[in-house]
C-alpha cells in the first residue's frame, strides 16, 4: 500500500465508525468547503485543504512522499524523538521501516487537535442533551484546549523524521472511533447490569487483559462493583476530555455510567457529584484496541507491523 492509501483508508474507517450521523459529517465537510471559498486569496496558503475531505484534524501525513510504497510500519501510541531514533536504529540493523505511524497527534495534527472536539457537541446531543446547551458547554472547553496547545513545541518529532528521512503520519480520532464503536456494540450485546459485569467484559478483551496484568487495566473510579450501570455511555472519542460541566446534563439525560479512557480529577468529582458511575478502561489499552482494529486491515494487505511505544498488538 502507498502512504496515501493508508491515510485515506484510516479516514474512511473513521467516518464509517463515527458516532455522528453521515449527514452531520457531511455538514462539517461542507462548512469547510464554504470557509475555503470565502477565504481571501492571500490567506488560502494558510488553509489546511485536507479539511475538505478529512473531518479529523488530528489525523495527517506529517512527513514523506504520499506515493511511497509501504511494506513495513513502526507503530506506537506516542511517537516522539526517541521513537524516531528507534526507527532509524532499526533501519541500521536491517529492518526496512518504511513508515512510522503514531496514534497521538504530532506536528500540525497536534496544533489542530481542538478542532475535532466539535464532534462532542453532536455526541452530547445524541445522548439527549439539547444541542444549544452542548454547543455552549463545548465552546469554552475547546478554546481552553486550543490555548493549552499553543505554547507546545509541536514539530519536534516531525523535524527528527525529516532529518532522518523517515516518513511519518498519525491517526488519532479514526482509531478512537473504532474502539468507541467496538465497545458500544459489545455493551449493547452483553447488556451488563452492574459495574462489576462491565469490568469482567473488559477484562475478556485481550488488550485490557494484558494491561490488567501490569496494573493498568480497567478500574472503577466512581461507584462500586455492585452498583447498577444503567445507561452506558462509552466516551472514547472526540479529541480529548470534554467539559466538566457536562456531567449534570448527562445525568439529566439519563446516563448512568461512563466508560472512558482517562479522566481528570475535576471531571471525576463532577461525575461523582451528579451520581454518574465512571469506569476507566485504561488509556494505552483502549488506544491499542482502536489502533489494532485499523492495523489488522493493513496486515491483510501484506503490510508488516512492528509495535512499539505502548501499543499492545493483538491480531483479530
- What's the mean pLDDT in 260-273? 97
d(CA 78, CA 103): 6
pLDDT for 160 equals 98
Summarize pLDDT for 128-160 with one digit per residue, the tens.
999 999 999 999 999 999 999 999 999 999 999
Q: Residue 313's pLDDT band (boundaries 50, 70, 90)?
A: very high
pLDDT for 66 equals 98
Could you please report the per-residue DSSP string of 100-159?
EEESS--HHHHHTGGGGGGHHHHHHHHHT--HHHHHHHHHHHHHHHHHHHTTS-TTHHHH
pLDDT for 24 equals 97
pLDDT for 167 equals 98
Q: Which long-range contacts (CB under 8 A, 24 or more apart) does 119-124 make?
A: 119/18, 119/19, 119/20, 119/55, 119/173, 119/237, 119/238, 119/239, 120/238, 120/239, 120/242, 122/19, 122/20, 122/21, 122/24, 123/19, 123/20, 123/237, 123/238, 124/242, 124/246, 124/249, 124/250
Domain boundaries, the chain: 3-172+286-307, 178-283
Domain at 178-283: CATH architecture = 3-Layer(aba) Sandwich (3.40)
- What's the mean pLDDT in 13-28? 97
Q: Residue 58's pLDDT band (boundaries 50, 70, 90)?
A: very high
- Alpha carbon distance, N-terminus to C-terminus of the chain: 20
- What's the mean pLDDT in 73-101? 98
CA distances from 137 to 55, 232, 249 (A): 21, 21, 10
With contact defined as beta carbons under 8 Å apart, do 201 and 191 qualify?
no
To the nearest 10 degrees (0 to 180), the angle between helices 173-190 and 195-203 is 120
In percent, the amount of the chain with pLDDT more than 90 equals 100
Mean pLDDT of the chain: 98
Amino acid at each position: 500500500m502507498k502512504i496515501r492509501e493508508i491515510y485515506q483508508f484510516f479516514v474512511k474507517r473513521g467516518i464509517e465508525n463515527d458516532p455522528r450521523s453521515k449527514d452531520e459529517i457531511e455538514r462539517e465537510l461542507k462548512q469547510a468547503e464554504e470557509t475555503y471559498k470565502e477565504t481571501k486569496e492571500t490567506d488560502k496558503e494558510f488553509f489546511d485543504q485536507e479539511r475538505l475531505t478529512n473531518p479529523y484534524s488530528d489525523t495527517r501525513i506529517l512527513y514523506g512522499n504520499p506515493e511511497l510504497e509501504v511494506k513495513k510500519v513502526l507503530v506506537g501510541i506516542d511517537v516522539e524523538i526517541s521513537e524516531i531514533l528507534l526507527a532509524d536504529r532499526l533501519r541500521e540493523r536491517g529492518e526496512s521501516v518504511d513508515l512510522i505511524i503514531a496514534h497521538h497527534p504530532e506536528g500540525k495534527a497536534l496544533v489542530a487537535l481542538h478542532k475535532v472536539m466539535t464532534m462532542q457537541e453532536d455526541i452530547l446531543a445524541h445522548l439527549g442533551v439539547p444541542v444549544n446547551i452542548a454547543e455552549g458547554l463545548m465552546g469554552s472547553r475547546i478554546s481552553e484546549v486550543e490555548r493549552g496547545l499553543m505554547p507546545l513545541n509541536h514539530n519536534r518529532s516531525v523535524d527528527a523524521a525529516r532529518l532522518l528521512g523517515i516518513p511519518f503520519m498519525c491517526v488519532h480520532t479514526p482509531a478512537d472511533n473504532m474502539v468507541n464503536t467496538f465497545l458500544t456494540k459489545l455493551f449493547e450485546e452483553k447488556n451488563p447490569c452492574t459495574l462489576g459485569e462491565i469490568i469482567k467484559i473488559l477484562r475478556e478483551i485481550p488488550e485490557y487483559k494484558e494491561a490488567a496484568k501490569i496494573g493498568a487495566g480497567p478500574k472503577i473510579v466512581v461507584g462500586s462493583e455492585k452498583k447498577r450501570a444503567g445507561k452506558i455511555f462509552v466516551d472514547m472519542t472526540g479529541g480529548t476530555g470534554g467539559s466538566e460541566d457536562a456531567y449534570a446534563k448527562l445525568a439529566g439525560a439519563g446516563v448512568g455510567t461512563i466508560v472512558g479512557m482517562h479522566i481528570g480529577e475535576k471531571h471525576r468529582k463532577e461525575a461523582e457529584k451528579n451520581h454518574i458511575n465512571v469506569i476507566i478502561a485504561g488509556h494505552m489499552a483502549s488506544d491499542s484496541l482502536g489502533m489494532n482494529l485499523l492495523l489488522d486491515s493493513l496486515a491483510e494487505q501484506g503490510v508488516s507491523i512492528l509495535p512499539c511505544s505502548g501499543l499492545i498488538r493483538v491480531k483479530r
